Structure 1
C-alpha cells in the first residue's frame, strides 16, 4: 500500500498528469509484487470504462459545448438580467441565476465557467465591478453545475457506488436551491458593504416579460397533466404540448423559453421514465442541435465540428482518468487499503457525525490535489463501505463528496475552474485565488447544512420513491 500510494504522490509532486501518475504507480506495484497477470490488468482497465452509464459523459459534454456555440448562453444571460439585474449588485445576482439555468444543461463546472462565465465577467468589468469580485462570484456560481441535474460527477459516482443516477439527480435539486440562496445573500451583503447599486433600471415591462417566460415554461407540465386528464396518452400529451410551446415561441419570439425548457425536458423525462439518465444526455444533445440549427439558426457546420472535436478531446481525457483510476482503486482494495482505513476510522470514533466531519476535511484536502473524476473513482471504494457501516445513505454521501470536490476546483494546485477563470479574466493564479476566498464562505455553509441535515438531500428522492 505504501508503494502504491507513495509512488502516486511522488509522481504528482514532480508534475506528472494525474492519470499518468495513477497508471504508472499501478504498473510499478504489479511488476514488483506480481499480484495479477498482465491480461488481468488490461481487463480491469477496460472494465473501468465499459459501462452504460459512462455513455452519458460524452453526450453531456457535447450538449454543453453545443449550448455555448448555439448562442444559448447569451439568451440565458439576457433573461437573468431582466429578472434580477435591477437588484443591488445586479450583475452579480445575474451571474448566479444564469449559472443556475445553465447548470440544467451542461452538468459540469468547467462548461459553466468557460461558457456563460466568460460573458458574465466581461459584463461585470464593463459596469465597473472590480475584476476580483467578478471572478469570485463566477467561480462560486460555477460549482452549481454539478449539483443541479444533470451532473457528470453524479454519473461517475452512481457507476462506482452502484447507486441510482436518477436518485442522485433528484437529490441535487434542494441542495442546489440552498446554495443559490446562500450565494444571493452573500451578494446582497457585499452590495451593502461596498455600495454596489443596481445595473439596470427597474422596468416593470422587462420584469413582466421575463416572468411571462417563466410562466410559459411552467405551463408546459401543467398542459401535459391537463391533456392526460382529458384522455390523451402521456406521449400524445407531451407531443401536443411541445408543439404548442414551439409554435408560441416562434410567434411571440421569446428570448429564452426554449433554453429554459432544457432542464424541464431532462428532469421531466427522467422522472416520468421516458429515458434513463444516460439517454437523457442524448436527449440534451438533440435539443441543443434543434436550438442551434433550427430555432436560433446560430450554429454552423464549422462550429458544430469544433464542438465535436472539443468533446472528443475532453471525453478522452476524462475516460483516461477513469480507466487509470479503476486499476488504481482495484489495487487499493487488493492491498487491503480499504480495510486498513476502516480499522483506523473505527478506532477513532463510532459516531457517524464525527466520521462525516473527518470525511469533509479529507475531501476538501483531496479536492485541491486530485481531479474530481479521479477522486471519485479512487475514494468511493474506500470510503463508501465505511459510510455504510455508520448507516449513512449512499445518495447523501454522494452529495457530500461532490460538493467537497467542487470546492476543490477553486483551489490550486489542480483547481481547473481557478485556471479557466484566471485565463478569462487575465489575472494571475495568485490574484484569482485571493479573489475566490471570500466566496468560499457560502459554499462551506452549504456544505455544513447538507452534511448535518440529510433531509435537504433525501427529501425529494424519498417523495419520488427513488430512495427508501
Structure 2
C-alpha cells in the first residue's frame, strides 16, 4: 500500500496529471507485487468505463456546450435581470439565479463558470462592482451546477456506489434551494455593508413578464397531467402541451421560456418515467439542438462541429480519469487500504455524526488536490462500506461528497473553477483565491445543514418512492 499511495503522491507533487499519476502508480504496484495478471488489470480498467450510466456523461457535456453555442446563456441572463435585477446587489443576485437555471442544463460547475459566468463577471464589472466581488459570487454560484439535476458527479457516484441516479437527482433539489437561499442572503448582507444598489429599474411590466414566463413553464406538467386525465395517451398529451407552449412562445416572444423548459423536461421526464437519467441526457442534447437550430437559429453547423469536438475532448479526459481511478481504487482495496482506513476511523469513533464530521474534513482536503471524478472513483469504494456500517443512506452521502468536492474546486492547488475564473477575470490565482474566501461561508453553512439534517436531502426522493 505504501508504494501505491506514496508513488501516486510523489507524481502529484512533481506536477504529473492526476489520471497519469494514478495509472503509473498502479502499474508500479502491479509490477513490484504481482497481485494480479496483466489481463486482470486490463479487465478492471475496461470494466471501469463499461457502464450504461456513463453514457450520460458525453451527452450532458454536449448539452452544456450546445446551450452555450446556441446563445441560451444570454437569454437566461436577460430573464434573471428582469426577475431580480431590481434588488439591492441586483447583478450579484442575477448571477446566482442565472447559475440556478443554467445548472439545470449543464450538470457541471466548469460549464457554469465558463458559460454564463463569463457574461456575469463582465456585466458586474461594467456596472461598477469590484472585480473581486464578481469573481467571488460567480465561483460560489458555480457550485450549484452539480447539485441541481442533472449532475455529472451524481452519475459517476451512482455508478460507483450502485445507487439510483434518479434518486440522487431528486435528492439534489432541496439542498440546491437551500444553497441558493443562503447565497442570496449573503448578497443582501454584502449589499447593505458595501452600499450596492439595484442595477435595473423596478419595472412592474418586466417583472410580470418574467413571472408569466415562470408560470407558463410550470404549467406545462400540469397541462400534460390534465390531458392524460382526460383520457389521452402520455405521448399525445406531451405533444399537444409542447405545441401549445411553442405557440405561446412565438406569439409573445418570451425571452427564456424554451430555455427554462430544459430542467422541466429532464426532471419531469425522469419523474414520470418517460426516460432514464441516461436517456434524459440524450433528451437534453435533442432539446439543445432544437433551440439552437430551429427556435433561436443561432447555431451554425460550424459551431455545432466545434461543440462536438470540445465534447469529445472533455469526455476523453473524464473517461481516462475514470479508467485510471478504477484500477487504482481496486488496488487500494486489494492492498487492504480500505480496511486499514475503516479500522482507523472505528478506533476513533463509533458515532455516525462524528464519522460524518471526520469524512467532511477528509473530503474537503482531498477536493483541494484531486479532480472531482477521480476523487469520487477512489473514495467511494473505500468509504461506502463504512457509510453502510454506520447506517447512513448512500444517497445522503452522495450529496455530502459532491458538495465537499465542489468546494474543493474553489481552492488551490487544483481547483479548476478557480483557474477558469482567474483566466476569465484576468486576475492572479492568489487574488482570485482571496476573492472567493468570503463566499465560502454560505457554502460551509449549507454543507453543515446538508450533513446533519438528512431530511433536507432525503425528503423528496422518499416522497416520490425512489428510496425507502
TM-score (norm. length: structure 2): 1.00
Local SS of the residue matching 2:466: coil
Local SS of the residue matching 1:282: helix
List per-residue Cα deviations over 1:92-132 (Å, max 9, x = no partner): 00000000000000000000000000000000000000000
- 2:423 corresponds to: 423
Q: CA deviation at 1:389?
A: 0.4
- Looking at structure 1, the residues matched to 247 and 306 of structure 2 have their Cα atoms a distance apart, in angstroms, of 31
Whether 2:379 is the aligned partner of 1:375: answer: no
Local SS of the residue matching 2:15: coil
- 1:218 corresponds to: 218
- Looking at structure 2, the residues matched to 250 and 40 of structure 1 have their Cα atoms a distance apart, in angstroms, of 58
For residues 124-135 of structure 1, what are the structure 2 equivalents within 5 Å? 124-135=124-135
Whether 2:26 is the aligned partner of 1:26: answer: yes
- Looking at structure 2, the residues matched to 350 and 326 of structure 1 have their Cα atoms a distance apart, in angstroms, of 29
- 1:275 corresponds to: 275
Structure 2 unaligned regions, length at least 5: none
List per-residue Cα deviations over 1:72-99 (Å, max 9, x = no partner): 0000000000000000000000000000
For residues 6-405 of structure 1, what are the structure 2 equivalents within 5 Å? 6-405=6-405
- Looking at structure 1, the residues matched to 393 and 218 of structure 2 have their Cα atoms a distance apart, in angstroms, of 32
Q: How many residues align?
A: 468
Q: CA deviation at 1:239?
A: 1.1
List per-residue Cα deviations over 1:318-343 (Å, max 9, x = no partner): 00000000000000010011111111
Q: CA deviation at 1:225?
A: 1.3
Q: CA deviation at 1:222?
A: 1.1
Runs of 4+ in 1 over 3 A off after TM superposition: none
Local SS of the residue matching 1:369: coil
Q: CA deviation at 1:195?
A: 0.2
Structure 1 unaligned regions, length at least 5: none
- Looking at structure 1, the residues matched to 58 and 229 of structure 2 have their Cα atoms a distance apart, in angstroms, of 38
- Looking at structure 1, the residues matched to 320 and 229 of structure 2 have their Cα atoms a distance apart, in angstroms, of 49
Q: CA deviation at 1:248?
A: 1.3
- Looking at structure 2, the residues matched to 445 and 420 of structure 1 have their Cα atoms a distance apart, in angstroms, of 25
List per-residue Cα deviations over 1:140-165 (Å, max 9, x = no partner): 00000000000000000000000000
Q: CA deviation at 1:253?
A: 1.0
- Looking at structure 2, the residues matched to 206 and 27 of structure 1 have their Cα atoms a distance apart, in angstroms, of 61
- 1:457 corresponds to: 457
- Looking at structure 1, the residues matched to 248 and 133 of structure 2 have their Cα atoms a distance apart, in angstroms, of 39
Q: CA deviation at 1:229?
A: 1.6
Whether 2:426 is the aligned partner of 1:441: answer: no
List per-residue Cα deviations over 1:363-388 (Å, max 9, x = no partner): 00000000000000000000010011
- Looking at structure 1, the residues matched to 346 and 451 of structure 2 have their Cα atoms a distance apart, in angstroms, of 19
- Looking at structure 2, the residues matched to 229 and 280 of structure 1 have their Cα atoms a distance apart, in angstroms, of 24
Local SS of the residue matching 2:205: helix
- Looking at structure 2, the residues matched to 339 and 39 of structure 1 have their Cα atoms a distance apart, in angstroms, of 26
- Looking at structure 1, the residues matched to 237 and 279 of structure 2 have their Cα atoms a distance apart, in angstroms, of 21
